[in-house]
Amino acid sequence: MKKILRRIISRYLPAVPIGIVLGSMMFSHSCANTTTPPSGGPKDTIPPVLTKIYPMNGDTMVPVHKTQISFTFDEFVVVKERQNIFLSPPQAKAPQYRIRGKSVVISFEEDLDSNRTYTLDLTNAIADNNEGNMFPGYTLAFSTGHTLDSMMVTGSVYDCNTLMPVKGATVMLYKFTGDSTVINDTLTVPADSAIFLKRPDAAARTDDWGFFCVRNIEDTLYRMYAVLEETANNIYDPDNDRVAFIDSLVRPVTVVDDSLPEVIKYLMTDTLECLARKSEYEMNLFRETPSKQMIVNSERLGERTAYITFMAPYADVDSIWIRDLPPGKLITQFNLERDSLEIWVNDPKEQPDTLFLNVSYLKTDTLGQLSPFIEEVKLTKPRQTAAAKSSRRDIKKEDTTTVFTITAEPETVEQYGFVIEFKYPLVKSAFDSLEFRYLNPRQQESKGTYKVVQDSLNLRKYVVTPDEKLMPGYEYFLKVPARKFIDINGFYNDSSEVQVTLPNDDKLSSMSLVLTNVKNKYIVDLLNEKRDNVMRSYIIDSDCTLLFPYIKAGKYCIRITEDLNRNGLVDTGNLLEHKQPEKVKFFRLDDGTFLIDIPEMTELEQSIDIGELFK
């Protein structure tokens, strides 16, 4: 009953003050309304109810100097999240507050602008004093001029990779004053620098569902952005913040009405009501590539290994060398993004305590341009490596042998094979000496053949793939014989063997994914229900059927990423270049959900039209 009253009050507060008083009287006995907790009875689970506001919602000619906004509740309250007291358009400093009895009084450290419409939002900022029940929120609209702007826009903000809703992002509207272009019947404009330099003309924060409503705005054209800020100053910092933007200009088409679901403040646990709200726009947050290029970090990890990292990806390195070390003694490897470089010294003799690494690369100069530069980096030997071994018991096995691992997972060995990864690069290898054998269910042993491929992104990693099709019920063994490999330390390897058997649990299921209308390169991932773990991954560029065997009963989702430049990466966007991040889509079932429920002992086939998905 009280929940219904709260909605009625928040909707019709300006028109029915007498109802507020009656509501307060009706429920005064059921609410915690003292500064000390009640001595007994059921726990209070009802949020505070707003009973009085000054100035009233919709008021005009509100003073611009020393303005105070008062919200009075039916019980004593506290401000739990002061950053959620949000003024739009925002000022340089956040609103201040103080508690006065059952009221929260909001003030501002600078004058308001004249002849302007403001909104003050309290979503998830206030809770009752005793039980901590959160007040769902209220948005007060008022004007310092003669008229109150009455339009609104809604939307949702998602993470560009997981497509999960983003809470606490600031959606920013900037009035459009420049030139525009019509492309495919859509009014588009290049991004400008306003988001870097000034605060928006209107703003709102996203809730737990990533939903936002920017209300009581002027009927005009806007650029729309969303920013997840590291520092809450309502100005975009490309080095620290994440950003999203709408390609086209935005013009509001909906008039604010307090009865609209998009305007009502629901509890975030009210799933059906929250999902029923209409999003006019969807934005995907991404982190931009840093605009400056330089070496930002370096570390020597051991006697012969180190790394350096660059601020921006795709570092343009002309040459690299270590003082007093012959060029042929240096081994280097970039990661896929080319923003991290691993370095090894291919010389088994003891190295100096400090190595002087010289890197010739394109570095951002004081004018913001990439210019050739030679930078010397000091790489100091770690203490534990620099300290001499004091006795035989201090020497570990990895101090005298080539360190490596062999892994093979039963569920994925058919797709990924056996993986051998060495800690240091090899100077001598004999992969033809590997021993691959298997036992059939009758324990008869046979030798098998295999192929070895060095990983294109990790020169210390090798994938061993059997030539024979792996069979259920068979035991497979891969052995690395002793003293067949030598690493840059001059150490030989010990013998090691791994054994794997395909899963034989009768309760496991499989899924065949039939992909059609494939016209580009795509990355296809099978993720768990929470979308935080990639179970299997494929890269495709034509129509095909992908098999996902040995799946435990549960819920899964399919993520498909469009890799237009075919580099195997999910490339980020660029705001000034008006470039969105590469598209990521989750396969949606007919009922609108993203989760595929796979029962036990099931062979499931799912078809996806890739062209239709990315249309």
Residues 405 and 362 in one domain: no
| Residue 34's pLDDT band (cuts 50, 70, 90) | very low
The per-residue pLDDT for 185 is: 55
- Does residue 10 surpass a pLDDT of 80? no
CATH assignment at residue 322: 2.60.40.1220
pLDDT 10s digits, 580-613: 999 999 999 988 889 999 999 999 999 999 999 9
Residues 167 and 306 in one domain: no
Distance, CA of 230 to chain centre: 14
- Does residue 50 surpass a pLDDT of 70? yes
Q: Where does a domain end: 386, 408, 437?
A: 386
Closest CA to 75 of 145, 7, 122, 27: 27
The per-residue pLDDT for 33 is: 35
Residues 491 and 514 in one domain: no
Residues 485 and 522 in one domain: no
Residues 219 and 315 in one domain: no
Residues 302 and 252 in one domain: no
| Residue 42's pLDDT band (cuts 50, 70, 90) | low
Residues 221 and 313 in one domain: no
Residues 193 and 70 in one domain: yes
The per-residue pLDDT for 180 is: 54
C-alpha span between 536 and 472 (Å, rounded): 20
| Residue 393's pLDDT band (cuts 50, 70, 90) | low
Integer angstrom CA distances of residue 236 from 28, 247, 572: 46, 17, 17
Share of the chain above pLDDT 70, in %: 88
- DSSP labels for 473-538? T-EEEEEE-TTS-EETTSPBBPPEEEEEE----TT-EEEEEEEES--S-EEEEEEETTS--EEEEE
Q: Where does a domain end: 386, 409, 439?
A: 386
Residue 290 lies in a domain: no
- Does residue 30 surpass a pLDDT of 80? no
Share of the chain above pLDDT 90, in %: 75
| Residue 562's pLDDT band (cuts 50, 70, 90) | very high
The side-by-side arrangement of strands in the sheet containing 603-609 is 544-551, 509-516, 603-609
Q: Which residue has the tokens 């998830």?
A: 124
- Does residue 162 surpass a pLDDT of 90? no
Residues 469 and 541 in one domain: no
Q: Are 407 and 498 in contact (CB under 8 A)?
A: yes
pLDDT 10s digits, 514-540: 999 999 999 999 999 988 899 999 999
Question: What letter represents residue 442's amino acid?
Answer: R
Q: Are 69 and 50 in contact (CB under 8 A)?
A: no
Its domain, for residue 111, covers 2-285
Bridge partner residues of 555 (DSSP): 597
The per-residue pLDDT for 28 is: 37
C-alpha span between 494 and 486 (Å, rounded): 10
| Residue 394's pLDDT band (cuts 50, 70, 90) | low
The per-residue pLDDT for 27 is: 39
Determine if the peptide bond prior to 313 is cis (ω within 30°). no
Which has the minimum average pLDDT: 6-15, 150-159, 407-416, 427-436?
6-15
- Does residue 454 surpass a pLDDT of 70? yes
Which has the minimum average pLDDT: 50-59, 145-154, 384-393, 482-491?
384-393
Q: Are 256 and 227 in contact (CB under 8 A)?
A: no
Q: How confident is the prediction for the chain on average, in pLDDT?
A: 89
CATH assignment at residue 211: 2.60.40.3710
Q: Are 433 and 523 in contact (CB under 8 A)?
A: no
Integer angstrom CA distances of residue 582 from 322, 522, 566, 579: 38, 11, 11, 9
Residues 221 and 99 in one domain: yes
Question: What letter represents residue 150's amino acid?
Answer: S
Q: Are 465 and 455 in contact (CB under 8 A)?
A: no
C-alpha span between 106 and 536 (Å, rounded): 52
Q: How many domains does the chain have?
A: 4
Q: What is the 3-state secondary structure (H, E, C) of 522-551?
A: EEEEEEECCCCCEEEEEEECCCEEEEEEEE
CATH assignment at residue 605: 2.60.40.10
Q: What is the mean pLDDT of residues 394-404?
A: 78
Closest CA to 228 of 288, 280, 176: 288
The per-residue pLDDT for 532 is: 87
Determine if the peptide bond prior to 55 is cis (ω within 30°). yes
Residue 91 lies in a domain: yes
More confident residue, 516 or 33: 516
Interior angle at CA 258, CA 254 and CA 262, nearest 5: 60
| E-only strand ranges, 77-210 | 77-79, 86-88, 96-100, 103-107, 117-121, 126-128, 139-143, 151-159, 170-175, 181-183, 186-188, 202-205
pLDDT 10s digits, 416-444: 999 999 999 999 999 999 999 999 999 99
Classify strands 151-159 and 435-439 as parallel, antiparallel or unpaired: unpaired
Q: Are 166 and 285 in contact (CB under 8 A)?
A: yes
C-alpha span between 8 and 16 (Å, rounded): 10
Residue 392 lies in a domain: no
Residue 569 lies in a domain: yes
Residue 254 lies in a domain: yes
Residues 172 and 278 in one domain: yes
Residue 391 lies in a domain: no
Which has the minimum average pLDDT: 181-195, 209-223, 543-557?
181-195
Integer angstrom CA distances of residue 31 from 173, 297, 611: 40, 57, 56
Q: What is the 3-state secondary structure (H, E, C) of 393-434?
A: HHCCHHHCCECEEEECCCCCHHHHCEEEEECCCEEECCHHHC
Residues 317 and 248 in one domain: no
Q: Are 135 and 251 in contact (CB under 8 A)?
A: no
Residue 197 lies in a domain: yes
C-alpha span between 545 and 123 (Å, rounded): 47
- Does residue 398 surpass a pLDDT of 60? yes
C-alpha span between 273 and 251 (Å, rounded): 26
Q: Where does a domain end: 354, 386, 418?
A: 386
Q: What is the 3-state secondary structure (H, E, C) of 78-104?
A: EECCHHHCEEECCCCCCCEEEEECCEE
User: Across 38-52, 185-199, 282-296, 374-388, which has the greatest mean pLDDT?
Assistant: 282-296
pLDDT 10s digits, 300-326: 999 999 999 999 999 999 999 999 999
pLDDT 10s digits, 89-112: 999 999 999 999 999 999 999 999
The per-residue pLDDT for 383 is: 81
